[in-house]
Amino acid sequence: MRTLLRVTLDVTASNKAVTDGSLPKIIQSTIEKIKPEASYFLAVDGCRSCFMVFDLKDSSEIPGIAEPFFQSMNAKVDFSPVMNADDLQKGLAALANR
């Protein structure tokens, strides 16, 4: 299922992770693990954040993706099912054909 991973990092913890070099390692490890179709890095409410869209094959993958962020950077992590334009059109067409 196409899924949006939203990670918002604690400022103090992520400052330490930038200084000690662990932040880029965790980001790279996550990218290698989930192979996102898109990744964005931004500030949200004054905190370092990243959004990644990827294919979540099974809900059992969630702990392995989220825990490095929880444990090392006191992060807020959200997973949301999402659609692209083609998915939306397909869903709307199915509704129209009822």
> Structurally, how many domains does the chain consist of?
1
Tokens of 42: 């931004």
Query: Above pLDDT 70, what percent of the chain?
Result: 100
pLDDT tier at 98 (50, 70, 90 boundaries)? confident
* Residue 96: pLDDT over 90: no
User: In which domain, by residue range, is 31 found?
Assistant: 2-96
Q: Mind listing the pLDDT tens digit for each residue in 12-37? A: 999 999 999 999 999 999 999 999 99
Instruction: Give the pLDDT confidence score for residue 12 in this predicted structure.
Output: 97
* CATH value at residue 39: 3.30.70.1060
Evaluate whether 10 touches 75 at the Cβ level (below 8 Å): yes
Calculate the average pLDDT of the chain: 97
Backbone angles phi, psi at 45, to 5 degrees: 50, 40
Nearest to 78 by CA among 62, 55, 96, 95: 62
